[in-house]
Copies of this chain bind each other. A is one copy, B any other.
């Protein structure tokens, strides 16, 4: 067995499990621990290093989840046989992760300690009514008969679809019947279905910058992606008109990452474009429409569509909890027909129990109450952030601050690059995210997001926002 001697520091800079994890990882990366080689048991290593077994468990757990080592039942831990070791891309990326590229970077922190993370993916679940959720779950299990364990309808259970259609009608102005709704386990899955409906080799127009996860998924299809520029109103329709595409992917209520809310004029232009061709669609990703801080809620693009050209996609992963793997797609009649003809044999991906819990959670008003509370919570954070941003306004412009859980900072000084701003922030213990992570480059599109940052505040407490912004002041002003 490999000699596991390693020097553990107890100066508190790094905890023990991290040191063990890093040591073994480097041994594997450096080829000193060979693939297939057996690691000592956690018990043996803990004894040898004179640390608790839990510490070694943690370290092995980390190595396991990153794919460096494997556990073979009843045999032990072995270095992975993978031809190439993972580069951190096996980690879980949430559905509503609007900055997957940025996430990756987290594994390469600047050497200082990051204390404040303005991640655009941060969520605050402190107000989530866990008790209510548990109670509903238990009641359903208690009352539930064996039907619950049977397979439900492929599109999702009718009750849930009816509840969703009511919610979408009242909250988002979506005009649809339950029969148009397809419920699925996450947006990614629904996009997989959509590929079957739009057909292979479809051309898809995307804004630049855009939601990188959707881009990656569309790229994994046989889609031809056309990159369309954005101005202050969102996707430029005159550019779109020059392209041969079947669908345009937009986020009209709050574009990621620019934060633009698409004005009604641009919406009408888009709908007109869609109505003109024989088979043109708009994919409306309404992902954080629940949170709006200024003016009236803006109804969905779908609600303004009179020609059956909008595919509306939403998720409960952001508004309820990432673990709630329930998204929904509202199909226009033409695609609904195609779904029934060619896709309805795909079994439902959501268990009936989960569908019923969610149905009751929404139907009985808990969802709305929770949304109202979180909207208030996020608005407070949002207001604090804007307050703290006042001294920055001389050097930065602020965009997209009326909705969602992030806003955009743009440096007025062209010389202050994104990379510089991120590095300076990190030196002060603050993690901020560059807009360029959301840029896509098909053909020869250039990266033009110098000096632009995405600042998410959903996951930080009010105090943390204040402290983090004070640090950023030191870093940038």
Known: A84-B337, A323-B353. A149 touches B125 (CB 8 A): yes
Q: Name the B residues within 8 Å of A186 (CB-CB).
A: 347-349
The distance from the CB of A292 to the nearest CB of chain B, in whole angstroms, is 22
Contact of A134 among B142, B323, B325 (CB under 8 A): B142
Contact residues of A between 62 and 110, Cβ < 8 Å to B: 64-65, 67, 70-74, 78, 80-84, 86, 89-95, 100
A94→B196 CA distance, assembly (Å): 20
Q: How many monomers of this protein are in the complex?
A: 2
Among A81, A216, A323, A334, max chain B CB count under 10 A is at: A323
Interface mask (A176-198 → B, CB under 8 Å = 1, otherwise 0): 01110000011111001000100
CA distance A340 to B85 in the complex (A): 10
Q: Which of the 9-residue segments A25-33, A158-166, A394-402 touches chain B? A: A158-166
Whether a CB of chain B sits under 8 angstroms from the CB of A379 is no
Contacts of A343 in B (CB 8 A): 220
Which residues of A, 127-142, contact B by the 8 Å Cβ criterion?
128, 130, 133-134, 137-138, 141-142
Contact between A130 and B150, CB atoms less than 8 A apart: no
Identify which of A61, A90, A179 gathers the most chain B CB atoms within 10 Å of its CB: A179
- Given A323-B352, A340-B67, A340-B86, A130 contacting B153 (CB threshold 8 A): no
Q: State in angstroms the CA–CA spacing of A14 and B133 once bound together.
A: 41
**A150 close to B185 (CB less than 8 A):** no
A349–B189 CA distance with the chains assembled, in angstroms: 8
Interface set, chain A 316-373, CB cutoff 8 A to B? 317, 321-325, 333-334, 336-337, 340-354
**A279 CB to nearest chain B CB (Å):** 14
Question: Which of A165, A187, A347, A350 has the most chain B CB atoms closer than 10 A to its own CB?
Answer: A347
Q: Chain B: which residue is nearest A149 at the CB level?
A: B321
Query: With an 8 A cutoff between CB atoms, is A393 at the interface?
Result: no
Contact yes or no, A90 B323, CB < 8 A: no
Indicate whether A272 reaches chain B with its CB closer than 8 angstroms: no
Q: Does any Cβ of B come within 8 Å of A148's Cβ? A: yes
Q: Give the complex CA separation of A153 and B323 in angstroms.
A: 11
Complex Cα distance, B158 from A158, in Å, reads 33
Within the complex, which residue of B67, B138, B200, B321 is in contact with A150, where a contact is CB–CB below 8 Å? B321
Task: Give Cα A346 to B217, complex, Å.
Answer: 8
Say whether A169 faces chain B, with CB atoms less than 8 Å apart: yes
Q: Which residue of B lies closest to A65 (CB)?
A: B158
Whether the Cβ atoms of B222 and A344 lie closer than 8 Å is no
| In the assembled complex, A155 has its CB within 8 A of some CB on chain B | yes
Shortest distance in angstroms between A286's beta carbon and chain B's nearest beta carbon?
A: 18
Give A275 Cβ to nearest chain B Cβ, in Å. 17
Find out whether the CB atom of B347 lies under 8 angstroms from the CB atom of A82: no
With both beta carbons as reference points, the residue of chain B lying nearest to A64 in the complex is identified as: B158
A interface residues, Cβ below 8 angstroms from B: 61, 64-65, 67, 70-74, 78, 80-84, 86, 89-95, 100, 125, 128, 130, 133-134, 137-138, 141-142, 146, 148-155, 158, 162, 165-166, 169, 177-179, 185-189, 192, 196, 200, 213, 216-217, 220, 222, 317, 321-325, 333-334, 336-337, 340-354
Of the A-B pairs whose beta carbons lie under 8 Å apart in the complex, a sample of 22, sorted by A's number, is A64-B158, A67-B179, A71-B162, A74-B166, A82-B340, A83-B334, A89-B341, A89-B344, A90-B155, A90-B344, A92-B151, A92-B348, A130-B149, A138-B138, A149-B324, A185-B189, A185-B325, A186-B349, A187-B347, A188-B347, A192-B192, A325-B347
